[in-house]
Amino acid sequence: MSHLSERAWGYLLAAPAFVLLGFVALAPIGAAVWLSLYRRMPVFGIDEFIGAANYVQLWSDDRFWAACRVTLYFTTLSITAELVLGFGMALLLDRLTSQPGRSSQWGQVMILLPWAVPTVVSAQIWLWLYQPDYGLLNYLLLQVGLINAPIDWLADPDWAIHAAVVMDVWKTTPFAALLLLAGLKALPQDLYAAAKVDGAGPWERFRRITLPLLMPIIVIVLVFRTMDAVRVFDAVFVLTGGGPGNTTETLSIYAYKTLFQTLQFGYGSALATAMFIIVAGLTALYLFLLRRHFEDGV
């Protein structure tokens, strides 16, 4: 069988998956883009093609730019914390799994448990924890003397977005840890043995072996978590609903309110398309940096 025929067979066998992907992912995206070219408000019987007018309006929409800032701020804080904490958890799990026993199994379960809890349930749990009068967080802080009076975490514009970040980090850090753990398990141990023989300490081995070899996994974590963080909806919506005063209103919440509360389907689709473009741009940036990393390494 020639190389060309093998490639042809590969395309043929992969064709059903590409067709399914087109129906599941690309078709809804295309429909949203097409709808964003219309001014469609069924409650008023309005349905007219306006081209790029929604995007022109988007450019001058202060609320859209405020939602962008909130979304990117939330994404930056949550992803940074999840990557750092996830790395620590992955190293801990790697150490535990190298010593089989009941304690190591329970350690893995406890670390991965928050990821198994549905996001809405997690948000409701943290909503109770943040409750100003009877919440556990205020109670503990008052007991140790860190605060003198209860704080309404979700009603304070300075605290609300950070409270949502803490909840998101607690929920999704195990996901990053799980991917990084898989990468750690795949690293060649002979490199570490050779580095020890050469006198490299733990920090040198981490900086020169672990971190470079895990870079593809780190990029995968960044891509997946960026997509989730940019389109965050349920966690923030349950905690604050976008308030107070729209200070925690993310792009997805703004798009939801536009689409389903004011029934501006065209403009809401433009918001959703803009959110997709932001995610695609950030993903392309990650892949570009990964490519540069390998080129510099070569």
d(CA 187, CA 5): 35
Count other Cβ atoms within 10 Å, centred on residue 22. Answer: 11
105-116 as b/e: b if 16+ CB within 10 A: eebbeebbebbe
C-alpha Rg value of the chain to the nearest Å: 24
pLDDT tens figures, 26-47: 888 888 889 889 888 887 788 8
Q: What's phi and psi for 66, nearest 5 deg?
A: -65, -40
pLDDT tens figures, 96-105: 776 665 556 6
Nearest to 222 by CA among 170, 169, 282, 174: 282
Domains of the chain, earliest start first: 61-297 (1.10.3720.10)
The residue-averaged pLDDT of 190-204 equals 78
Total residue length of the chain: 298
pLDDT score at 1? 45
